[in-house]
Amino acid sequence: MSTSNYIAYSGNYRRLKQNLFLLIVGLFLFALLTNLAFAHGMSEEEKQAIIDGGNWQYMWLGATHMLSGYDHLAFVFGIIFFLTSFKDIAKYVTAFTLGHSVTLIFATFNAIQLNYFLIDAVIALSVCYIAFANIDGFHKYLSINPPNMMLMIIGLGLIHGFGLSTRLQDLPLSEDALLLNIISFNIGIELGQISALFAMLVLITAWRKTQGFKAFSLIANYTLIFMGIFLFFMQMHGYEHTVNAEELSVSETPKPTSEGLADTSGMLMTESVTKWSDSIEITIPARGEKEYKLQLSKGASFAYSWKTESEALFFDFHGEPKGDTRGYFKSYQKGTESRLSGSLVAPFEGTHGWYWKNGTRSPVSIFLKVSGDYQIIQKSQKKELQAPKPEKTHQSIDSL
């Protein structure tokens, strides 16, 4: 083999190794993101921190939420992929920032709620769009001129803002400082975006100087397209479950757990399974909160089923020991739902029930049905139970 042929062969071999490495990295990132398909959201610890904390907690949560929001970051990654000048990067990223900030603040402040699975499905398609534009797909595959990129980024940014708002509205937001809390959360979002953007620019700039950048760009953008398609179908699958929850549920007898709360996974109790003893209607005012409690002895059990007319509410199903003066309470289950069924075996004597928070701008009625070994707390009894206690770590307003 001649020297020139050997050099050419060596160069091709090195490029082949680089391309294989980039392909493996792309597939690894794709597999990682698919495992996180439903991880985008807020943990219960984050929710409790923002409930108990002030504006700094909102800001911190916004930053961490953006850094874990892989769909938003994938879109930003697509925006800056082929941008080389600081002016262009600042222009397009600012357009995206303005778009999602407007809808984040407006939708949350006005309690505009959309199904988060449906919004995230559209956001997944936005990732496909930006990657498709990066590979010049409009000219290559559709033989048309692409839409104005600036207008598209602003428009898609508005949709991303709805996605951020739906997550923020999962929380029982405070009415007193609502706008300031939303703005603090949004500032955190932007700080998280800037941090992620810096890391992306370092990575892309370093790769742009290598011979394998062209191959990397194709692999990266095709990976974004396939990732977006996969996430779209995952989110639509989740949306199907939310709109057809009753059809997809299975009735079965709940199984007690060590915590006293029955296992309700895969179960939606029906009236044919349980003969309800009491039916209670509870109305929660707009931006309001209420509690409803039952008195139980240790080891006593009861079954329950509650639902709203349509709106999903933040709830905390918890119990408070009889005679406690420390403000202690045990949380059995919390989250954001429009309906829930199950049962409880009381781990101690005391009051057990729900705290609900209505983050919408309209009153919401809850229809609660219960049956079991409990005592409904009447108004006269309630005064006796409400001995002076230290302020609890959760916000609550009693309903009776």
Count CB neighbours of 256 within 10 A.
13
The stretches of the chain forming alpha helices (DSSP H) are 3-35, 44-52, 55-68, 70-80, 86-109, 116-134, 137-140, 149-168, 178-208, 213-243, 245-248, 379-385
- Between 72 and 262, name the one with better pLDDT: 72
pLDDT band at 51 (very low <50, low <70, confident <90, very high): low
- Between 360 and 72, name the one with better pLDDT: 72
pLDDT in tens, 157-194: 999 999 888 878 776 666 677 888 889 889 999 999 99
Q: Is the pLDDT of residue 390 over 70?
A: no
pLDDT in tens, 328-376: 888 898 888 888 999 999 999 999 999 998 877 778 899 999 999 998 8
Q: What is the mean pLDDT of residues 267-286?
A: 71
CA distances from 129 to 126, 138, 217 (A): 5, 10, 15
**Sheet containing strand 339-345, strands side by side:** 278-284, 364-372, 301-308, 339-345
Return the percentage of the chain with pLDDT > 70, whole number.
71
Return the percentage of the chain with pLDDT > 90, whole number.
36
CA distances from 259 to 162, 298, 303, 383 (A): 37, 13, 15, 29
> Distance between CA 41 and CA 120 in Å, rounded?
11
Whole-structure pTM value: 0.59
> Distance between CA 363 and CA 160 in Å, rounded?
28
Residue 205 burial (C-beta neighbours within 10 Å; 0-12, 13-18, 19+):
exposed
| Domains parsed from the chain with CATH numbers | 3-243 (no CATH), 255-385 (2.60.120.680)
